[in-house]
Structure 1
Amino acid sequence: MNETGIPDDPLLLGIDTGGTYTDAVLFCERSGVVAKAKALTTRHDLAEGIAGAVDAVLAKASAPARRIGLVSMSTTLATNALVEGQGGRVALVMIGFSETDLTQAGLRNALRSDPVLFLPGGHDVHGNETPLEMERLEAEIAALAQDVTAFAVCAYFAVRNPAHEIAVRDFIRARTDLPVTMSHELSAQLGGPRRALTTLLNARLIALIDRLVLASDRFLETRGIRAPLMVVRGDGALVSAEFARRRPIETILSGPAASLVGARYLTGLDRAIVSDIGGTTTDIAVLENGQPRIDPQGASVGGHRTMVEALAMRTFGLGGDSEVTIEEGGLSGRIVLGPRRLVPLSLAAHLHGGRIVEALQKQETRPVPSRLNGRFACLSGMPARHATGLSKSEAALYARLGPEPVALDALILSSAQLAPLDRLVARGLVSLIGFTPSDAAHVLGRQTGWDAEAARLGAALFARRRDGAGQQLATDAEAFCERVMARLARRSAEAVLETALCEDGLDGAALAGHELMRRALDGEQSVTRLRVSLDRPVIGLGASAPLHYAGLGALLRGDCVLPEDADVANAIGAVVGRVGVRSEAHIGQPQEGVYRVQVAEELRDFPDEEEALAFAESVLMRDLHDRARQAGADQAELHVTRDIRAVDVDGSRRFLEARVVAQASGRPRMTLNHD
């Protein structure tokens, strides 16, 4: 033990950037969580939120920065960029493909206006080449280097022979200093257009992740933290920040993946449904035998189905900062939550002083309530250079906004202006402020820290509104807030149930909202009695989980586990995980008696099946050892499996093909800096 009372073991610093908060946790492998802290996420510059959270957690622990032996982060940056259509401009080089291939896998839509070059070349399924011709690339390389931020290269059957991708990469690197992504580096699966899509998106994200890593490195250096920086991948494994910079596409779903790792660590449960509620979304996945399931179809995000291995996760637009609205045209005045995120009224008033409260008080005195009451807008902090291509109406609204909130009833002069405002919000240029479940929790005294008076005024404005039958929505602000909280608990139960039904191979979305399921959840007493329950407990994660999931177990007639430190489970998951990398080799038979091995960047023929398999394994072991070290592993454990396909023809075995898969895992390397 040292003078602070903390064991002399290295301290691990975990960081998670969420939609509302950035979390930081100091963790000791011997004693667990040492300290935890939060700071508001700064969307325009994530490094600011990271700095706030890390400074706060170091102050709480009274721990010197030199004791930190590892820093690991989970991030939503890649996911958000794909969802919002952001990223650099990329030149896609397609070798052996044609224009018609752009119609597959959503590749044309993903390209947008980015340039694409088609070069003759590529290989067949056995790795035999069509000659590569690079005249067009040679003619256009100088102009492209001035117009794009990165290159993506995809060749026909590159997973059987990557020679042409490597040749094009070397050509580009010799003439530019721009990053180049090759498709065979990211996936060993067949399906050229989807592999090209994955490569394009990876190249588009390189600059974003690069900026985050560089900003984090600079921040850590200024604080005297000289420890390896790791990033959580979408499958829950850790990789070095340098590794993630080259393959940023693998960090999509990083945050949800970290939450599952954290849930397993905090509870020790091997079978559970993990539901992580944040400010913007609820992410739900299933644990089986202590492991989350990997989506065999590849991660899907922002409408793009990639070839990236990631957790089988369902994401719902449901969180503490979800937009509260009333169902249009309904008689009962049913409360609708999300999927859009708003800045809560209580948070906006906390950040901007009395401006919000004064405007709400004026709206409360008006005899006729308006749909625009309790709504504000302001610029999001996105740099002005992103405000390109605005329509006349969008530009006019954008020009009237600044960093301080403006009431919508003063900003919107006609209903025609609502659509342009929504488009500005969708592009991330404008933030909307309004009533959310977080505000309801502040009114009821179940959550503190922000401005409860602003929340109460917003609830009172909602309560005054009328349903389709002309009845007031609630008797007062508190009664309306109780309805909001009950609605969030109910929607959470439906989301968990939908995930469980999908895991059983059913149409969860349709069944979870069915009238019979409604009756089962509500426990209605009638001639037909219906019950629904789960075969495993639910683990509730997130800062607001104890608040919103308190009644979840009763609704689902099962256990709901709310572990201590559930509020920082993602940050814990970022430091307790293991480094994991995998490689695979393919062995085909281009002709009788010839076994062709494609492994790493090598292609070799053998006259004997076992000799070919042994060669593939030896190269994989060597390659994986190097990759595990680059990914940050310390003393990685290696495991190799063979998948051989053969058929029996007239009593004689006939080899078809084989895959050899090698996996390495281990705890990340740590450093400890003493005075």
Structure 2
Amino acid sequence: MTAKTKPKPLFLGIDTGGTYTDAVLWSETEGPQEGPNKGKVLAKAKALTTRHDLAVGISGAVDAVLQKAGTDPAHIKLVSMSTTLATNALVEGQGGRVALVMIGFSEGDLARDGLKAALGTDPVVFCPGGHDVHGNAARLDLSGLEAALPELGASVSGFAVCAYFATRNPAHEIAARELIREKTGLPVTSSHELSAKLGGPRRALTTLLNARLISMIDRLVAATEGFLGERNIAAPLMVVRGDGALVSAAFARQRPIETILSGPAASLVGARHMTGLDNAVVSDIGGTTTDVAVLDGGRPRLDPEGATVGGFRTMVEAVAMRTFGLGGDSEVTLEDGVLNPKILLGPRRLVPLALAGMAHGTAVTSELERQLRAPNPGRMDGRFAVRTGVPDRLAAGLTGAEAKLYELIGAVPLAVDRLLTSNAQNATLNRLVSRGLVHVAGFT
């Protein structure tokens, strides 16, 4: 009697970028068994990233891979996911609206490390408290925070809490975190959970950015886990961190800031596997950004000072990388306020006009034809606004002007020259884009 052959373990890789979602099925036991090129790619596929429902793009890529390979999904032993969504969000200034709670700090501290610029119009609450360098506590007073929570809870997607010298004693951050969770039920990021380094304002910056990214990465992980469950893929889901290491999906959900530069870090590892080179400069050109990093002795070179993305220096240990807001889907526009305007590229990513036309047909093409027939070109020609399709709860906290404009925008692209009636509304539209609520389609 012939013994039953044990199935060979397979590994599924998923990369969700701003434009495309890629999937690869890899076997460790097939192909070369020695050297950097060990193993074999059995199949690969690509699908458009669907921001309104990330599961659609993921399923499109993974189903195609499984079909090409003709394999049983039950043989997959590990699923590894990388993503540029967090990086892209920071480069483009996007993310959920969050409240920053500063304990023991003054308003002047916002001017340090780019914290005020990162905060933008998001609310901030200052509370007495914090600790000294030895961990001794000042008097904590959370009454102001508690009074503000009913209003804040209805207008933000999460909270970021940073206390003075919380790296020495996190008690005040923990107290604020528990109060916020009890009163609002919203996600809370505490700075001591992200970094043990000194430097309160930069730690607050890192915490703020993490809080902004939670809903985005949570939706990505949930979409991936849901799809894997539907396909009976029981393998553990791991996420590539910004330094190239793998972390659990639960870890990434709580600390999404750790996934910045996740996609480029995976590219470095992939470049070494494909070329066999230990020392190289690697350029990763995507739909939103171009990322340049270094392979040093077969490993990604790390930035000991913390990753810099979107102009913000964080406390996240990640690949030492230069990230530029320039990719295949970068916005092409004209310089404002000059007689002979220059063509400007990026950093914002747009939905390519050709893609919008393919997806929505005459809703786009008829408007383009109307604009072509006009006696004079307009600055808003070739631009359309469309909702991203994120849950309505993420639209909490809009101003009256933002809510009014958002109401006019639907699931079908609307020509911007019909949507906007004043120059002031252009800034309102940009704020909706920054919140991740609206896409703009245009020339890329």
Give the alignment of 1:502-513 within 5 angstroms.
Answer: none
1:60 matched to which residue of 2?
Answer: 68
User: Does the C-alpha gap of structure 1 residues 291 and 47 become closer, same or farther in structure 2, counting only changes over 3 Å?
Assistant: same
Identity score, percent:
58
Tell me by how many angstroms 1:325 deviates.
5.0
Q: Which of 377, 380, 383 is matched with 2:387 structurally?
A: 380
CA distance in 1, matches of 2:255, 2:245: 14
User: Does the C-alpha gap of structure 1 residues 377 and 179 become closer, same or farther in structure 2, counting only changes over 3 Å?
Assistant: closer
1:164 matched to which residue of 2?
Answer: 171
CA distance in 2, matches of 1:167, 1:323: 42
139-148 or 183-192, larger mean C-alpha shift? 139-148
CA distance in 2, matches of 1:411, 1:206: 31
User: Does the C-alpha gap of structure 1 residues 429 and 290 become closer, same or farther in structure 2, counting only changes over 3 Å?
Assistant: same
Q: Which amino acid aligns with 1:269?
A: L
- Asked if 1:10 corresponds to 2:9, the answer is yes
1:43 matched to which residue of 2?
Answer: 51
- Asked if 1:194 corresponds to 2:202, the answer is yes
Tell me by how many angstroms 1:223 deviates.
1.4
User: Does the C-alpha gap of structure 1 residues 74 and 165 become closer, same or farther in structure 2, counting only changes over 3 Å?
Assistant: farther
Tell me by how many angstroms 1:231 deviates.
0.9
RMSD of aligned alpha carbons: 3.8
CA distance in 1, matches of 2:109, 2:401: 33
Asked if the contact 1:295/1:312 (under 8 Å) is kept, the reply is yes
Give the alignment of 1:475-486 within 5 angstroms.
Answer: none
Q: Which of 73, 78, 86 is matched with 1:70 structurally?
A: 78
CA distance in 2, matches of 1:288, 1:265: 14
CA distance in 2, matches of 1:105, 1:190: 13
1:254 matched to which residue of 2?
Answer: 262
Tell me by how many angstroms 1:243 deviates.
1.6
CA distance in 2, matches of 1:122, 1:42: 45
1:205 matched to which residue of 2?
Answer: 213
Asked if the contact 1:376/1:405 (under 8 Å) is kept, the reply is no
1:564 matched to which residue of 2?
Answer: none
Q: Which amino acid aligns with 1:232?
A: V
User: Does the C-alpha gap of structure 1 residues 146 and 410 become closer, same or farther in structure 2, counting only changes over 3 Å?
Assistant: closer
User: Does the C-alpha gap of structure 1 residues 409 and 7 become closer, same or farther in structure 2, counting only changes over 3 Å?
Assistant: farther
Asked if the contact 1:132/1:164 (under 8 Å) is kept, the reply is no
Asked if the contact 1:70/1:229 (under 8 Å) is kept, the reply is yes
Give the alignment of 1:248-647 within 5 angstroms.
Answer: 248-324=256-332, 337-357=345-365, 360=368, 366=373, 370-371=377-378, 375-383=382-390, 386=395, 388-389=398-399, 391=401, 395=404, 401-407=409-415, 425=433, 427-436=435-444
Q: Spell out, residue by residue over 1:312-362, the C-alpha distance to the aligned partner (whole angstroms, 9 max, x if none).
A: 22222332223445778798x986544443333332232123554555566
Tell me by how many angstroms 1:175 deviates.
5.1
1:137 matched to which residue of 2?
Answer: 142
2:229 matched to which residue of 1?
Answer: 221
> Structure 2 stretches of 5 or more lacking a match?
31-39
Q: For 2:318, what is the secondary structure of its paired residue?
A: coil
Q: Spell out, residue by residue over 1:573-626, the C-alpha distance to the aligned partner (whole angstroms, 9 max, x if none).
A: xxxxxxxxxxxxxxxxxxxxxxxxxxxxxxxxxxxxxxxxxxxxxxxxxxxxxx
1:120 matched to which residue of 2?
Answer: 129
1:464 matched to which residue of 2?
Answer: none
Q: Which amino acid aligns with 2:261?
A: L
CA distance in 1, matches of 2:335, 2:115: 37
CA distance in 1, matches of 2:409, 2:150: 37
CA distance in 1, matches of 2:287, 2:345: 12
CA distance in 2, matches of 1:221, 1:51: 11
Q: For 2:315, what is the secondary structure of its paired residue?
A: coil
Asked if the contact 2:202/2:315 (under 8 Å) is kept, the reply is yes
Asked if the contact 2:304/2:317 (under 8 Å) is kept, the reply is yes
Asked if the contact 1:90/1:204 (under 8 Å) is kept, the reply is no
CA distance in 2, matches of 1:415, 1:199: 34
Asked if the contact 1:123/1:158 (under 8 Å) is kept, the reply is no
351-360 or 295-304, larger mean C-alpha shift? 351-360
2:22 matched to which residue of 1?
Answer: 23
CA distance in 2, matches of 1:297, 1:35: 38
TM-score by length of structure 1 reads 0.54
TM-score by length of structure 2 reads 0.79
Tell me by how many angstroms 1:264 deviates.
1.5
Bigger Cα Rg:
1
Tell me by how many angstroms 1:422 deviates.
5.3
Asked if the contact 1:23/1:37 (under 8 Å) is kept, the reply is yes
Tell me by how many angstroms 1:306 deviates.
1.3
> Structure 1 stretches of 5 or more lacking a match?
1-5, 437-675
